[in-house]
Amino acid sequence: MNGIQKVDTRALQTNRFSKLLSSIGIYAIAALFIVLGVVLQSMGIINNFLTTQNMMNIVDAVALLGIVAVGMAFITYSGHYADLSAPTTIALTGIVSVELLRFGFIPAIMGAVVVGLIIGIINGIVIGKFKANPIIWTLAMSYVSMGVIRFVWVNKQIYPDVITDDPFPVMLFDNIYRFRFFNAISLPLIIMLVLVVVGQFILKRTAFGAQLKLTGSAKRTAKFSGINVELMIALAFIISAFTTTIAGLAITSLSRVGAYYNGAGYDFRAVTAIVIGGMTLAGGRGSIIGVLGGTLVIGLMNNIMTLLGVGTFSQDIIRGAIFILVVGINAKTLRSMGRDDA
Amino acid sequence: MQRLYGVWGGMMRKNKLDKSKLLALGDRFRIYILFGVIFIFMSLFAPRFFNSYNLTTILRTVSMNATIALGFTIVMICGEMDLSIGRTATFAAVIALTLQKKFGYGISVPIAVLAGAGVGLLNGILVAKIKINSFIVTIGTMTILQGATYTITGGNSVSLSGDKVFAISDFLAKPLLPMLPPRVLLTILFVVVFHLFVSNSQWGRNFYMVGGNRTTAWLAGINTDRITITAFILSSTMAAVAGILFAMESSAATLNMGDNSLMYVVSATIIGGTAMSGGKGGILRSVVAVLSLEMLYTGTILFGFGNEVKIFISGLILALVVLYEAYASYKHEKTIGQRAVLLEELAQAKEKI
Amino acid sequence: MKKQVKVVLLAMVLLCLGGLLFAQGEKAVGVTGAGAAANLEASLKVDTSVLKAADGQPLLRLSSELPKIPTRPANPEALPDTDPLRWFDMEYAGWDTKKTNIPASPKDGAIGKRVVMIVHGDHPWTTACSNGAKKVADAYGMDLKILSPNWDLAVQNQMIDQSINERPDMILIIPLDATTAIQQARRINQSGIPFIFFNTLPTAEAMNYAITWTGPDDFGQMRKLAKVFADEMRRRNPGAKELGIAYVQHAPGGSPYFARSYGPLSELAGYAPEVVTLDMQAPGFEADRTMQLVSDWLTRFGPRLKGIFAADDSAQALGIIEALKKAGRDDIVVVAAGNSKIGMDMVTDGSLFAITYQTAEGDGALAVQTAADWFNGKELPNRRDIPQHIITKADVADFYPPQW
């Protein structure tokens, strides 16, 4: 994008080491944080860091973020930044599912998925077909769906156990977030891991993934080589809306209330996870495994700061600084390896 | 304007209204037309809209976001994004008021403005030199600024009192000329200066060049990095100035006073016709868009509608504008390179001569 | 392009002139003479004490106990956080003020008066509050208009200006921020329109310009909750030399941030010196973030943590309870500020020990009632507090169905 386009031979050397580094890059940072935690623990500054319970807490806490980030990563991968309508999608699908709980558990889930997919399809068509700017369009979309929520439900928060007298669907709904396999592994965590595995497979092992990569990194080339670029982009937005819907159901289940304010902040938090995870906004780079790593790094960072007793205010400063630092280092290494001219 | 007469002239010569040209005209003056329509509609129908008191209120309310929009538009013209504007406004306001207690406004305001400029410098260097995407950089600085603001104030809002402070607040708020309090006059001054700077100076043209095509700009001998950094500094500085003036008028700064400005200014700038891809847009258009949105919001309040209507309408307008622009470029792309289009463009070029 | 500037400038000048020509403010319509006396008599006959809130509790309740107000220390901010007097300016604001330029009551009755109520933003709480206000306004036949600035300070300022332009008989306002309230108060005061602050306590200086303030005494309520909290921890850990607690705080920037962490903190320093504050964090109002915070606390402090004091009884409390359940720690005492359905459900099932009674409907109702009292010529105190009450499992059933 910058300067004169000249062939950089470094980019053509498929160096095994550089490949390895770029795929495990974020895990090196995660390992760094774990080493930091262990060192602090051995010095007696923090305790119980390296315990199964603490590690489980960390992954549990970021499971919801991971679910949103995995889906949104497809959008970033396709070169379309992010989906700013994620928070309102969470709120809208959540409130719809609670409202439909009166007809039973299955209709509630189906209703939420249908609403989520409609948002995804609209985003996909407008951005894929008509090439609207993704950030502005999803922003507009979030305004419109927020208007709809406020219009229909007039600032109310609706409760599953008030909507229906039947305790069974309420119990099921409550357990979307709370169910634990073997009393230890929570359902959202399993969902996140499944999504990561499936997402990684789709991105790296299927024709769709390869086409999406080309779409993200060189849209024009992709178009002229016969790829249905519009469809690829639309699908990315639909996938994102789908995982956001799952997160919406889980968040609503956790907070036991359908309300317009559920999910606030998940847009920028997901972008943070994705970008820390090594995906660049230029598109076509990074992996879902990397996004998982980014999500885990955020969890680790929060955990260590709380264990250290860092105050809320300083946490913000440190979080922002580490974010810029990690992304800056990532951009610099990619460039020095000639793998990115951005 | 010259081009406008050209189009008019063309229509007169043909002696009939050329539909496509009328459309082109409407497109170019879209935001001014929107402004006029909203203003006339509200004046006619909204209760208590068209009187000097209410119009003063609108101008005072609009001052903050209009000032922020000035710098932000320049960043957008450069093809970049600045998500830290809202938090920068809060940060600078908090600094100005906290330091006022010790040193007075005479020292605290310049320091706060400099602090704002510093944020912009940081953003600019990270974007231009380290080459991190501006969307990412400003999400980061946004988080840092929030922590910094909380740390400075200890979690409480900052307030000032005393006759001297109130005298300044009252001076800023009371109309000096009819309907124009000093704060609004200052905003108008900023608007004029920025408009002349961007549309009439070499620097201003460079912003468009960099945003339109960075490589070409670089080949043309423009220091693209310096232009980008300048854009970010201007954006943060104006956000800081807006925040400080708002805080001075209310003699207090709260910890989230700038948060709502971000999405407001982004929407207004887009509706005004500045494209996110860069190289297109203008200062005046953004300011008129901010003013139009504000009149619309005031109207919804005066009609007695709730916030859901306000949110819905702003979403709808934004969506329509984005859709229209996307559709226009979609159509343009479809027909690009076709013989009929070339002929038409040739004809237009001839008319202009 | 230069012409564009000229056109816009010209338009602005025209706007100014047009505005001047059409400048008109609506004049308040007052009843005078015999009509006023009759109206006053009819207004005084209205009985609002029979009104009920959605939870079946009486809508209007006034605190019978007048607080004992200590003398203000010379410089409260120099005191340590654990000293109750450190928070004097926030806690006792308004009891002792020099009222400035307060309009005199017309004493012509509340019936038919036009009242504008400006709240802070859209929220289920606000909806309940507005419902309460409407009930009292209907009883008096007042014309009540409710405006919501959606948590935006600039919009609230604008709404105040618009209300002044409308010239109602009274403005009721929840200040979005305690400190910016000073300028808001001065503005309304200069226009000569009587106004009452409610719900959120502004700084003492702002109270100089308002007729009065009505609402819940957040600090007092939190001090009460802190005592109940300490008693329960003592009961569960008899003879313990140290009781470690942590605070989940409100969002920074408002008075609840201080009232709901430093209120109990300074109270417990005197009431239960064995209570040790281990940490204070403000994770926001999201259940999952609070859950991570509390899980991390459990890792960090282990058995030392005996109690958690939360600023919000819905999302924050849910996150806390989830984290405790996961770790199997049912020995920890959790109390929270608030009166939501989620909080009451958790008090019912025993996972949350105590919450505070905060009638949303009563809050709005009391503001309108106080306005009516002013029109009726009653003497008003500098502050009108809603009575304080701590809800535990013993009496939680009385507060169903929840107001929001």
How far out from the chain centre does Cα A283 lie?
A: 15
Which pLDDT band, with edges at 50, 70 and 90, does B179 fall under? confident
Would you tell me which CATH number, out of the four given (3.40.50.300, 3.40.190.10, 3.40.50.2300, 1.10.40.30), belongs to the domain C99-211+360-387? 3.40.50.2300
If asked whether residues B330 and B188 sit together in one domain, one would say no
**pLDDT computed for residue C178 by the predictor:** 87
Chain C residue with minimum CA distance to B174 = C187
Helix (H, G, I), strand (E, B) or coil at C343: helix
CB distance C257–B155 less than 8 Å? yes
CB distance C154–B61 less than 8 Å? yes
**pLDDT computed for residue C18 by the predictor:** 55
Q: What is the 3-state secondary structure (H, E, C) of B108-175?
A: HHHHHHHHHHHHHHHHHHHHHCCCCCHHHHHHHHHHHHHHHHHHHHCCCCEECCCHHHHHHHHHHHCC
Asked whether the predicted pLDDT for residue C290 surpasses 50, the reply is: yes
Asked whether the predicted pLDDT for residue A278 surpasses 60, the reply is: yes
Quote the strand ranges of chain B, DSSP E.
Answer: 158-159, 252-253
Point out which residues pair with A258 in neighbouring strands: A158
Q: What is the pLDDT of residues B296-320, one digit of tens each?
A: 999 988 888 888 888 888 899 999 9
Which pLDDT band, with edges at 50, 70 and 90, does A219 fall under? confident
Asked whether the predicted pLDDT for residue C348 surpasses 90, the reply is: yes
The C-alpha of A107 sits at a distance from chain C's nearest C-alpha, in angstroms, of 24
Which pLDDT band, with edges at 50, 70 and 90, does B21 fall under? confident
Q: Which residue has the higher pLDDT, C24 or C341?
A: C341
Q: How far apart are CA A139 and CA A88, in angstroms?
A: 10
If asked whether residues B252 and B167 sit together in one domain, one would say yes
The C-alpha of A28 sits at a distance from chain C's nearest C-alpha, in angstroms, of 23
* Chain A CB within 8 Å of residue B307 CB: yes
Query: What domain range includes position B197?
Result: 49-305
Residue B315 lies in a domain: no
Neighbours of B, requiring at least 3 CB pairs below 8 Å, are A, C
If asked whether residues B5 and B89 sit together in one domain, one would say no
Measured between beta carbons, the chain C residues lying within 8 angstroms of B288 are: 8
* Chain B CB within 8 Å of residue C104 CB: no
Average pLDDT, chain B: 88
Measured between beta carbons, the chain B residues lying within 8 angstroms of C161 are: 53-54, 57, 60
Residue in the structure block whose two tokens are 């980030």: A69
**pLDDT computed for residue B175 by the predictor:** 86
If asked whether residues B224 and B81 sit together in one domain, one would say yes
If asked whether residues B153 and B283 sit together in one domain, one would say yes
**pLDDT computed for residue B4 by the predictor:** 47
Residue C309 token pair: 């004091």
Asked whether the predicted pLDDT for residue A19 surpasses 60, the reply is: no
Q: How far apart are CA B59 and CA C161, in angstroms?
A: 12
For an interface test with A, which of B132, B219, B332 has the most A Cβ atoms less than 10 Å from its Cβ? B132
B272 DSSP assignment: T
Residue B84 lies in a domain: yes
* Chain B CB within 8 Å of residue A328 CB: yes
Measured between beta carbons, the chain A residues lying within 8 angstroms of B270 are: 136
For an interface test with B, which of C165, C184, C203, C261 has the most B Cβ atoms less than 10 Å from its Cβ? C165
**pLDDT computed for residue A195 by the predictor:** 97
Query: Structural domain boundaries of chain C?
Result: 99-211+360-387, 219-356
Fold of the A14-336 domain: ABC transporter involved in vitamin B12 uptake, BtuC (1.10.3470)
* Chain B CB within 8 Å of residue C22 CB: yes
Q: What is the pLDDT of residues A295-339, one digit of tens each?
A: 999 999 999 999 999 998 999 999 999 999 988 888 877 777 766
Contact C218, C260 (CB under 8 A): yes
Q: Mean pLDDT over residues B117-143, rounded?
A: 94
* Count of H-run helices and E-run strands, chain A: 14, 2
Residue in the structure block whose two tokens are 């000093």: B182
Q: What is the pLDDT of residues B333-342, one digit of tens each?
A: 777 666 666 7
C-alpha distances in Å from residue A15, one per residue of A51, A337, A341, C313:
37, 9, 17, 55
Across C94-98, C108-112, C146-150, least confident range? C94-98
Helix axis angle, A266-276 to A312-336, nearest 10°: 40
Measured between beta carbons, the chain B residues lying within 8 angstroms of A148 are: 312
Q: What is the pLDDT of residues B238-265, one digit of tens each?
A: 999 999 999 999 889 999 888 889 999 9
Residue in C147, C183, C253 nearest the CB of B157? C253
Asked whether the predicted pLDDT for residue B287 surpasses 80, the reply is: yes
If asked whether residues B105 and B35 sit together in one domain, one would say no
Q: Mean pLDDT over residues B63-87, rounded?
A: 95
**pLDDT computed for residue C233 by the predictor:** 95
Q: What is the pLDDT of residues A78-113, one digit of tens each?
A: 999 999 999 999 999 999 999 999 999 999 999 999
**pLDDT computed for residue C47 by the predictor:** 87
Q: What is the pLDDT of residues A229-272, one digit of tens each?
A: 999 999 999 999 999 999 999 999 999 999 998 998 899 999 99
User: What is the architecture of the domain spanning C219-356?
Assistant: 3-Layer(aba) Sandwich (3.40)
Quote the strand ranges of chain A, DSSP E.
Answer: 180-181, 185-186
CB distance C15–B256 less than 8 Å? no
Query: Structural domain boundaries of chain A?
Result: 14-336
Average pLDDT, chain A: 88
Residue B257 lies in a domain: yes
Across A39-48, B54-63, C33-42, C250-259, least confident range? C33-42
Which pLDDT band, with edges at 50, 70 and 90, does B353 fall under? low
If asked whether residues B61 and B184 sit together in one domain, one would say yes
**pLDDT computed for residue C3 by the predictor:** 63
How far out from the chain centre does Cα A167 lie?
A: 32
CB distance B323–A126 less than 8 Å? yes
Residue in A4, A126, A151 nearest the CB of B326? A126
If asked whether residues B35 and B59 sit together in one domain, one would say no
Top-confidence range, B2-11, B161-170, B200-209: B200-209
Average pLDDT, chain C: 88
Measured between beta carbons, the chain C residues lying within 8 angstroms of A261 are: 285
If asked whether residues B56 and B178 sit together in one domain, one would say yes
Measured between beta carbons, the chain A residues lying within 8 angstroms of C296 are: 54, 57, 302-303, 306-307
The C-alpha of B116 sits at a distance from chain C's nearest C-alpha, in angstroms, of 21
* Chain A CB within 8 Å of residue C296 CB: yes
**pLDDT computed for residue B26 by the predictor:** 74
Residue in C124, C249, C291 nearest the CB of A157? C124
Which pLDDT band, with edges at 50, 70 and 90, does C9 fall under? low
Helix H or strand E encompassing A31: helix A16-42
Neighbours of A, requiring at least 3 CB pairs below 8 Å, are B, C
Residue B314 lies in a domain: no
CB distance A264–C286 less than 8 Å? yes
Q: What is the 3-state secondary structure (H, E, C) of C359-382?
A: CHHHHHHHHHHHHHHHHCCCCCCC
**pLDDT computed for residue A301 by the predictor:** 93
Model ipTM value: 0.88
Residue in B157, B288, B301 nearest the CB of C147? B301
Spatial strand order in the sheet of C275-281: C275-281, C243-248, C305-310, C333-336, C354-356, C390-391
**pLDDT computed for residue C92 by the predictor:** 87
Residue in A302, A309, A313 nearest the CB of C292? A302
Dihedral angle computed from the Cα positions of residues A315, A318, A324 and A329, in that order, rounded to the nearest 10 degrees: -130
Share of residues in chain C with pLDDT > 70 (%): 91
If asked whether residues B230 and B328 sit together in one domain, one would say no
**pLDDT computed for residue C253 by the predictor:** 80
Q: What is the pLDDT of residues C205-217, one digit of tens each?
A: 899 999 999 999 8
Residue B311 lies in a domain: no
If asked whether residues B105 and B5 sit together in one domain, one would say no
Asked whether the predicted pLDDT for residue C16 surpasses 70, the reply is: no
Q: Which residue has the higher pLDDT, B38 or C15?
A: B38
Which pLDDT band, with edges at 50, 70 and 90, does C65 fall under? low
Chain B residue with minimum CA distance to C1 = B1
Number of domains forming the structure of chain B: 3
If asked whether residues B292 and B237 sit together in one domain, one would say yes
Measured between beta carbons, the chain C residues lying within 8 angstroms of A48 are: 299-300, 302
* Chain C CB within 8 Å of residue A13 CB: no
C-alpha distances in Å from residue A22, one per residue of A278, A339, B107, C41, C247:
8, 10, 49, 83, 41
**CATH number where B179 lies:** 1.10.3470
Distance from the first to the final alpha carbon of chain B = 15
Which pLDDT band, with edges at 50, 70 and 90, does A340 fall under? low
CB distance A299–C292 less than 8 Å? yes
Asked whether the predicted pLDDT for residue C331 surpasses 80, the reply is: yes
Measured between beta carbons, the chain C residues lying within 8 angstroms of A178 are: 322
Chain A residue with minimum CA distance to B154 = A313
Q: What is the pLDDT of residues A107-165, one digit of tens each?
A: 999 999 999 999 999 999 999 988 888 999 999 999 999 999 988 988 788 999 888 88
Helix H or strand E encompassing B56: helix B52-77
